[in-house]
Structure 1
Amino acid sequence: MLDVIKIDKDLEKLLDQHKDTVYLKSSTDSYNCYLITKRFLKMKKTVFVVTANLYEAQKYYDSLSLLNQEDDVLFYPADETLTSIMALGSPEFKSERLYTLKQLMTKEAFIVVTTMQGISQRQLTPQDYKKSVKQLLKNENYNISDLTTFLVYSGYQRTFTVEKPGEFSLRGHILDIYTLNNEHPYRLDFFGDSLEQIKIFSVETQRSFAEVDTIEIAPMHELFYTDQMKDSAIKDIQKHFEAFDLSERENEKFISDIESIDLRQKLDTLGLYIPFFNKKETTVLDFSQDKEIYLIDVHKMKVNQEHIKDDLKTYQVTMNGQAFLSIKYRLPLESHLKKQHIEIDNFGISNPNAFSLNVMASNQYQSNLELFYTDMMDYIGKYKIYLCIKTNHYFEEMKSFLKFKKISYLRQIKDEVGVYLLDISSHGSFISVHDQVVILDESELFTYKVRKAIRYRSVLNQSTKIRKVEDLTIGDYVVHYDYGIGQYVGLKTMELSSEKRDYLHIIYANEEALYVPMDQIDMVLKYSSHEGQKPKISKLGGKTWTKTKASVRMRIKDLSDRLIKLYAIRDQAQGFAFSKDNDMMEAFERDFKYETTRDQQKAIIETKHDMQQERPMDRLICGDVGFGKTEVALRASFKAVLNQKQVLYLVPTTVLARQHYYTFKERFDKYGANVALLSRFVTPKQQKQTIEKLAKGYVDVVIGTHRLLSSDIKYKDLGLLIIDEEQRFGVEQKEKIREIKHNVDTLTLSATPIPRTLQMSLMGLKDLSMIETPPMNRYPVQTYVVERQDALIKEAITREISRGGQIFYLFNRVTGMEGMVRKLQKLVPDAKIGFAHGKMNRESLESVISDFIDHQFDILVSTTIIETGVDIPNTNTLIIHEADKLGLSQLYQIRGRVGRSDRIAYAYLLYDQFKSINDEAKKRLAVIQDFTALGSGYKIATRDLSIRGAGDILGAEQSGFIDSVGIELYMKLLEEAITGESIEKEKSTQIDQIYAQRHVDPQYVAQDSARIEIHKRISELNNMPDIEDLKLELTDRFGQLDADLLLYMYEKLYKKLSYKIGAHQTIVDLNQTTLILSMDASSKIDGKKLFEKAESFKLAKIRLSYIRGHIHIQLITKNVKQHWLYLFDLFLEDFIYN
């Protein structure tokens, strides 16, 4: 569409020749993006687009990314002034900024979208940045020690296992690095100082999968410096602070910051000190020499600057922070206004003499095509009118409307007046008087917002699934199958008869110690239960554990019997086989505004497949809030309606019922399907009518609360039951649901994850679909853990309201809530504030939440009732008053309330600055700061939620049993009950003879948890390909294996294979090894096959004999190079499996 806009010749001349400021007016944001793009394509030089705030910047970034090659548009978001001063920089914003600086250093042309704060934020010089980037080439020489020092100086953190950007790990001659803005980390393999290989590896598997010849290591933070720069800066900082009378808190911070600079620690929080490292007033604008700068709405920038000054005054009063505030970390707007730039003021407020672009905004028609027609009559015959409609059914609707109004249209773009109907997206709408052009996008013509498929370059890989959390750390509770719950205190190596063995050291009641050999590691599991639940330590030799385990086992047996019985009944039941998809189903699916995620698509396919079988469907869809479960329900419902079946959608609250009703109505109306709502939002008269229509079959989909389970409700032909959050219904309601489910297809939706082990156990008994991948292009919620400050709260609220958004303020005490509302009202007098808590009656509570959804007020002060259910995409700032009082899983779920639209969302986790916080809360807050998709906070929260999810799916009565033995052992016992295979199945009668060192050398793998992981992996080996696979992985991760570790693997496999064949005893002599089978195994074995396999074995001679009822398999090892364990493994595997 760019070609239909021609830039005015006078304007082009003005822009090409200007030496100072050019003022433009009478425009729109959409047109500005077209103008900027055309200039960028013509000039081939960098263009900076500067907006008044981050919300406007995000809109410009989205639009410009769609009009240009995506890699040509960069984002440079800056933190708010107060969050910067309080050392609360966002890691995602920092990542975007560093990526932008790195790209600008390439000297190529880009469009850089930033804010007033962005161009004001000082940086080190481009020369300093250039020195901080290191390129490594394959086959070149590098000193590993110097390289690790460089990484530390560049802000990388040393860890044992690299999992996220900014981490590195050194294990002998292998260096793993996760550099900024790369999808995968790198593994550098050295031979001495020579860099032999540069491999790319997976965070999930820790295995490499590709090779490259070079990598570039860029800094992980904006403050990078040499020792010389550091010494000079520290002197200047000390001199600056000497001029102030510091308060005790200021002095503490000053000393701590100096120490951090000296030791190069916490550099992410020290950007405020950049002016002391670079006396020049360098900003991002200085990273490009040849550039054009557009300032959008300078009037708004000036107003914002005044607001910032007011906030800083408030902060200074409360914090006595003059010494920090006086650091000139940000340049004033005036310093930029003196430089050459172009100002665009859409309304012409700043300068009435500005050059007029003569562009007007179009109406938002929202499917009112009659209004559209009335407006277009002014332009038809005079202007080129481009109707850009990408969605198929809207395109057809417009085509029919133009035909009905007898308006002829063209399908190809020509340089002539007329109406053009195009199946493309214009990414914006406007009316250009100069060009005599009207461009209307479907987002203005119809009632839906076109999806913006923008990729944000984030520090995080947002599609990473939940990672394992079973890594053992000292102090963790563990559960031994035979001895019960103890505390893990470390890994111990002991030598017995010159053989080294590793042991898990576990402490039980009365400080009694248990040493568990690592080859029995599968008897020990990490103990996990609900957050905050501390287990009772077992007593070694006591009977309590045996009783507990027997009791849990009995209850699990009841549960598994019930599950198996239910499955058998359902398997025999006769349901309705829905027909396969038709054209209308495909049209309905095309209406979805977003791209389905991989997991979502899988869930849809599985659901539709179930519905097409005669057996009634009973599928559970698990997925986080906002991950797209509703779309699965919509498609299943539409499939049912196409088959003339009715749909009952059961939800726990009237608020949710109303939300789903509007969603369904919007999607179903155009197909003539009748969607009804039954809840207290509906008048008794309407309820009566709906009930009558349901019985007659005039209602296709009915959505409501437990009211739908009343006996007066009858259906003509119910085909699909959808239950949202079944665990939130009462016992009687669940019983009623069970009655309805008998021969009706059922889809249950749950926002609580369930453990992967439970998914595996229930496979075949319950149909599960897991939606674990989040929607694409969702920007991570900016999370700040900070002392509570009125100035910060005011800034956060004001920013959200100014962009038309709403705020959740979580105050988890009913007493004092109204006082909190009054305080906030005083802080932000113009804000409309409501409050909600669990002590309110249900009707009042739901009314308040409904009013908030309808934007009757800006701030909802609430207790943790906002933790579940409600979807309010317009709420994108969350403030938690006392974050230190909440559990991790609670914080995780509450934070999920924001960040569910196309806007950047913020979460402020506040704690009292004057109150001492206990160690537990401090630890929790530190974990929350790592609350990212790969962070430990996320892992812990999701583990706790999955334990809750297990309780939900298995029934409330099982929750107590889960806590008594821990989720891990509970799942093992459940698997045992369902499959009938005992955990103890491999406790062989043969004496445990030791043939290898059962030990992982700390010189080879330094970290205990990794050594435990290797032992665990060895215990899971089942065949020779498993050994080969583990050998390759360990070589890749840690370097060449030693012979002892390999023998340990062969020994473990030998024990499994010999147990399988029925071993009684193994005798190892100098020239031969004999495996003696038990009498029972000897009598049952296929002798002919054994003889044939022995004859055909080429690597060594095998003799067979039969002595006193026992078969003897004798492996002759004289003059054979390979170890007997390896040879016996090959022979036994061939005999057992081939």
Structure 2
Amino acid sequence: MTDFGSVRNARLPFFVTEEVSTLSPAASSVSGTASQTLPSAGARFALARPPGSGDAWLISQFVAQARETRRMMLVVSADALDAQRLVDEINYFDPSLVVRPLPDWETLPYDTLSPHQDLVSERLETLYRLSQPQSEIDVLVVSATSALYRLAPSQYVAGHTFFFTQGQTVHAEPLRAQLVFAGYQHVSQVVAPGEFAIRGGLIDLFPMGSALPFRLDLFGDQLDTIRAFDPDTQRGLYPVPEVRLLPGREFPIDEAARQGFRRRWRERIEGDPSRSSVYKDIGIGIASAGIEYYLPLFFDQTATLFDYLPADTIVVLHGPIDAAMARFWNETNERYRFLSRDVTRPIMPPADLFLDAEGFFTRARDYGRISLGEGLHEDFAALPQLSIERRADIPITRLRGFVDKFISEGPGQPHGRVLIVADSAGRRETISQMLTEYQLPFADNADFGAFLASDAKVGLGVAPLHEGFVLHPASLAIVTETELYAASPRRLRGRQRERASNVEAMIRDLAELRVGDPVVHVEHGIGRYLGLQSMDMGSGPTEFLHLEYANETTLYVPVAQLHLIGRYSGADPDAAPLHHLGSGDWDRARRKAAKQVRDTAAELLNLYALRAARKGHPFQFKQHDVEAFAEGFPFEETTDQKAAIEAVLKDMSAGFPMDRLVCGDVGFGKTEVALRAAFAAVADGKQVAVLCPTTLLAEQHMQTFRDRFNDWPVRIAELSRFRSSKE
């Protein structure tokens, strides 16, 4: 029997690699001898790319083996989407690995748009780590096009990084100028990387590459305390001994850098520089949008990604790298030919900004390389057809047949194991209900390691895997939602993390408040928010909300009491009637409102008591039938639309009279909520009536319902003035 607990730490005993002499990742002719070791500098091995997410598993094994000899691995993917998924998938298979992406700028060459600050922050963090003598990065993942971009020299990133430590002497005004020249933006409230705010002796700073901002509290000119704080609530979290401050941009913009930029512009770009707004803006310290595509003018010499890599790095070429690079160069040259005619914004030749494919492979030749290209890997296999048949009596027939066969032991063949993974915890619950309903036993598994360590034959978990695969030597099969819902036209291949919305939220954090906004204090009434202020009340510095009331009276509310502050809901915020502190006006208004609330509450209590005493019909329907009907919806549900559908279906199956109102603007999907509810009712043998305010709308809904129920044995009729008495 196979020891599955050791699979995770296997060191490639079954991978046959061949040394090749060509630099082409798609080489078909190979020579040399088989090897089971990682390639040394200058050597290149070729492997067939495993199917599905098997490539991430294979790379994770390579990285784990390379880490034993303190060698870093660079993965260059032909597809940018593959690069993004490999970061998550490699981490899933081995969470102990340090996996870093070098994200793309996500702008087209020569765009007049600058990259988003979050992307720049992540890039600078990665470049800083690479510039350190002992980088802790195990694997760096980058797309083929990003690998071609010329970069700032490693000395710039390392040399322009400095640290704040507790007890250090800090002068606020020189620091402000230093931060501005480093590329940081002065704001009233810090919420994003690259921002800072100075309020007296408090300095809020969100360093590039940091997950959280920090609050520096000065005592005179001495840095007294440093605390991380939540950018959403602005509340302090925990103290830290020091803060690392990376440069705010991938290029300098101090006086010396600006002079060098203008000098190199005159040397390398033809024409009158005074006609260019980019040239003039740099002269006064303004970085124009799209300035990143003038990066070589900031430095005497730029670097490439290879200049950041240790000499013993192993380079993995994932997919048709040369084709991706050739396509990028063709598109870049076309854009250059088209845009270079603008004399007011002259641009630099592509060769000054990017490596070409030949230059990339020439530099890569110095490193050990592993190519994952076309072909069949004998140790991996793609999964057979496993898609759920929504309208079958047993929708998981294919899955059950595969699982039963795969986990069965045969002559000389140990039993296999199957791990089924969902995209999210919510999807996992749906699949769990389906497997339970159709009696396919499984065990819950928190992660990949937990499954390998268990003795379960079938596991169910959550994983960021885009496609499943079979690993023959380990008798292991991983099944994802891609296989289970392969027929779904709405299934997203690229996953986006959803942000849940809470329609009941009032003021949950200070990011929702702006200076001058009217607010309502539970005890003191309507005032106006004038910002944050730090005061020492004897137990150390404390942050307060500064509220102004009538006659310019002031109230300071500790940030910890933010729950006492509510949003003002009057018609005109600028004309909000401020209450007088201590006058009793607010108490009288509260008592009057409380009496009205009690009267209304009594009426509602009586109404809901009557409703609670009544029993409703608990609709019975199968979840997979609802999902089958949902496949007819040609769009992806929004987060709020999905929440409304789930809430309505939950109410319908609860067994008490429903009391729910679905609100939404025109075109935001209310009809789809009604369609799902109608289907659930019809599936339980009930009739559904849809009331419309106009005849025209009745006609439109009639057509919509007929289209959606076209494949279902449901009769739909319309009752309006367009129909005869007989009809």
TM-score (norm 1): 0.42
Does residue 516 of structure 2 align to residue 472 of structure 1?
A: yes
Q: In the aligned structure 2, how far is the partner of 1:386 from the partner of 1:451?
A: 25
Are 2:103 and 2:119, in contact at CA under 8 Å, matched by a contact in 1? yes
Q: CA deviation at 1:116?
A: 1.7
Output one character per residue of 1:667-723: Cα deviation in whole Å (capped at 9) or x when no partner: xxxxxxx725xxxxxxxxxxxxx5xx8xxx6239x6xxxx5237xxxxxxxxxxxxx
User: 1:907 maps to what in 2?
Assistant: none
Alignment match of 1:149 (pick from 177, 186, 189): 177
- The reply on whether 1:698 has 2:685 as its aligned counterpart is yes
Which is higher, the Rg of structure 1 or of structure 2? Answer: 1
State how far apart, in whole Å, the 1-side matches of 2:508 and 2:129 are: 26
With over 3 angstroms needed to count, the CA separation of the structure-2 counterparts of 1:631 and 1:565, relative to structure 1, is same
Which residue is equivalent to 2:206?
Answer: 178
Equivalent residue for 1:122?
Answer: 150
Answer yes or no: is 1:347 the counterpart of 2:370: no
Pair 1:363-2:384 in alignment: yes
Counterpart code for 2:420: I
User: Is the contact made by 2:406 and 2:415 (CA closer than 8 Å) also made in structure 1?
Assistant: no
Structure 2 residue aligned with 1:429:
468
Q: Which string of whole-angstrom CA distances, capped at 9 and with x for unpartnered residues, describes residues 976-997 of structure 1? A: xxxxxxxxxxxxxxxxxxxxxx
Q: Which amino acid aligns with 2:607?
A: R
Q: What residue in structure 1 maps to residue 292 of structure 2?
A: 271
User: Which residue of 2 is the match for residue 8 of structure 1?
Assistant: 14
Three-state SS of the structure 2 residue aligned to 1:295 is strand
- Opposite residue 206 of structure 2, the aligned amino acid is Y
**One-letter amino acid of the structure 1 residue matched with residue 66 of structure 2:** M
Alignment of 1:675 with 2:706, yes or no, is no
Q: Identify the structure with the greater helix proportion.
A: 1
Question: 1:315·1:321 contact (CA, 8 Å) conserved in 2?
Answer: no
Question: Does 2:57 align with 1:34?
Answer: yes
Q: Secondary structure at the match of 1:2?
A: coil
Q: Is 1:167–2:195 an aligned residue pair?
A: yes
Quote how far apart the aligned CAs of 1:130 are. Answer: 1.0
Aligned mates of 1:529, 1:218 — CA distance in 2: 45
Conservation of the 8 A alpha-carbon contact between 2:190 and 2:197: yes
Rounded Cα–Cα distance in structure 2 between residues aligned with 1:567 and 1:311: 68
Query: Which structure 2 residues correspond to residues 1027-1106 of structure 1 after superposition, within 5 A?
Result: none
Supply the AA of the counterpart residue of 2:484: F
Match of 2:160 in 1: 132
Q: What SS does the corresponding residue of 1:85 show, helix, strand or coil? A: coil
Q: What is aligned with 2:607?
A: 570
Supply the RMSD in Å over aligned alpha carbons: 5.5
CA distance in 2, matches of 1:62, 1:4: 20
Per-residue CA shift, 1:618-653, capped at 9, x if unaligned? Answer: xxxxxxx94456346525633542538789997988
Match of 1:100 in 2: 126
The correspondence for 2:416, drawn from 381, 385, 389, is 385
Cα distance in 2 for residues equivalent to 1:304 and 1:664 = 48
Shift of 1:446: 2.7
Report the Cα distance in structure 2 between the residues aligned to 1:845 and 1:20, rounded to whole angstroms: 65
Q: Following TM superposition, by how much is the alpha carbon of 1:188 offset from its aligned partner in structure 2, in angstroms? A: 2.1
CA contact (8 A) 1:101 1:284 kept: no
Instruction: Give the equivalent residue in structure 2 for 1:920.
Output: none
Contact 1:364 1:445 in 2 (8 A): yes
Change in 2 beyond 3 A, CA 1:628/1:179: same
SS in 2 for 1:187: strand
Using the TM superposition, give the Cα deviation of residue 373 of structure 1 relative to its aligned residue in structure 2, in angstroms: 6.7
Question: Structure 2: which amino acid aligns with 1:360?
Answer: A
2:314 corresponding residue in structure 1: 292
Paired residue for 2:655, among 643, 655, 670?
A: 643
Structure 2 residue matching 1:175: 3-state secondary structure: strand
Contact 2:649–2:680, Cα closer than 8 Å, also in 1: no
Q: For 1:200, what is the secondary structure of its paired residue?
A: strand
Structure 2 residue 116 is matched with structure 1 residue 90: yes
Residues 1071-1104 of structure 1: CA deviation (Å, up to 9, x unaligned): xxxxxxxxxxxxxxxxxxxxxxxxxxxxxxxxxx
What is the deviation of 1:565?
8.7
Deviation at 1:438, TM superposition (A): 4.8
Q: Say which SS state the counterpart of residue 95 (structure 1) adopts.
A: helix
State how far apart, in whole Å, the 1-side matches of 2:433 and 2:63 are. Answer: 35
Which of 449, 457, 475 is 1:420 aligned to?
457
Question: Which residue of structure 2 aligns with residue 199 of structure 1?
Answer: 227
CA distance in 2, matches of 1:4, 1:372: 28
Q: Shift in Å at residue 238 of structure 1? A: 2.0
**CA shift at 1:371, angstroms?**
4.2
Contact 2:336-2:349 at 8 Å conserved across structures: no
C-alpha displacement of 1:78: 0.9
Cα distance 1:384–1:259, how it changes in 2: closer, same or farther (>3 A)? Answer: farther
CA displacement 1:205-239 (0-9 Å, x = unmatched):
65545322211111222112664444333211222
Alpha-carbon spacing, 1:75–1:318, altered in 2? closer, same or farther (3 Å): same
- Asked if the contact 2:234/2:510 (under 8 Å) is kept, the reply is no
CA distance in 1 between partners of 2:345 and 2:288 (Å): 22
- Give, in whole Å, the separation in 2 of the partners of 1:379 and 1:279: 63
Q: Which amino acid aligns with 1:312?
A: R
SS in 1 for 2:152: coil
Q: CA deviation at 1:388?
A: 0.5
- In the alignment, structure 2 segments of 5+ residues that lack a partner are 1-6, 18-34, 390-395, 422-427, 443-449, 499-506, 520-546, 557-566, 577-592, 628-636, 709-727
Distance 2:570 2:341 in 1: 43
- Determine helix, strand or coil for the equivalent of 1:79: coil
Pair 1:19-2:38 in alignment: no
The change in CA–CA distance for 1:164 and 1:80 in structure 2 (over 3 A counts) is closer
> Could you tell me which residue of structure 2 aligns to residue 772 of structure 1?
none
> Does the CA contact (< 8 Å) of 1:389 and 1:421 recur in 2?
yes
Q: Is 2:101 aligned against 1:72?
A: no
Checking the alignment, whether the CA contact within 8 Å between 2:614 and 2:657 is kept in structure 1 is no
Closer/same/farther in 2, CA of residues 312 and 80 from structure 1, 3 Å limit: farther
The change in CA–CA distance for 1:192 and 1:234 in structure 2 (over 3 A counts) is same
Of all paired residues, the percent bearing the same amino acid is 15
Q: What is the CA deviation profile of residues 1017-1053 of structure 1, one whole-angstrom value per residue up to 9, with x for unaligned ones?
A: xxxxxxxxxxxxxxxxxxxxxxxxxxxxxxxxxxxxx
Deviation of 1:140 (Å): 2.5
| 436 and 310 in structure 1: CA distance in 2 versus 1, 3 angstrom threshold | same
Structure 2 letter corresponding to 1:74: R
212-221 vs 359-368, which moves further: 359-368
Distance 1:384 1:279 in 2: 63
**Larger RCO: 1 or 2 (CA < 8 Å, sep 6+):** 2
Q: Residue type matched to 1:92 in 2? A: D
Q: Secondary structure at the match of 2:89?
A: helix
- Aligned-pair CA distance for 1:33: 0.6
Once the two structures are TM-superposed, the CA of residue 470 in structure 1 deviates from its matched residue by 4.8
Give the Cα separation in 1 of the matches to 2:353 and 2:164. 33
Q: CA deviation at 1:98?
A: 1.7
Aligned AA (1:304): R
Q: Deviations over 1:894-931 (max 9, x none)?
A: xxxxxxxxxxxxxxxxxxxxxxxxxxxxxxxxxxxxxx
SS in 1 for 2:416: strand
CA shift, 1:257, in A, is: 4.2
Aligned to 1:62: 88
Structure 1 unaligned regions, length at least 5: 349-354, 403-410, 457-462, 479-503, 506-514, 539-555, 593-624, 666-673, 677-689, 711-728, 734-840, 851-1138
In the alignment, the residues of structure 1 paired with residue 369 and residue 704 of structure 2 have an alpha-carbon distance, to the nearest angstrom, of 50
- SS of 1:708's equivalent in the other structure is coil
Distance of 2:170 and 2:663 partners within structure 1:
62
1:699 maps to a residue whose letter is K
Q: What is the rounded CA distance, in whole Å, between the counterparts of 1:844 and 1:732 in structure 2? A: 10
> Contact 1:26–1:346 at 8 Å: present in 2 too?
yes
- Distance apart, 1:173 and its partner CA: 3.2
Residue type at the aligned position of 2:60: T
**Equivalent residue, structure 1, for 2:584:** none
Q: Indicate the SS of the match to 2:196.
A: strand
- Name the CA distance, whole Å, in 2 between partners of 1:225 and 1:321: 22
What is the rounded CA distance, in whole Å, between the counterparts of 2:287 and 2:239 in structure 1?
33
Residue among 216, 228, 234 paired with 2:244: 216
Residue matched to 1:258: 282
In structure 2, the CA distance between the partners of 1:90 and 1:203, relative to structure 1 (3 Å rule), is closer
**Residues 383/118 of structure 1: CA separation in 2 closer, same or farther (3 Å cut):** farther
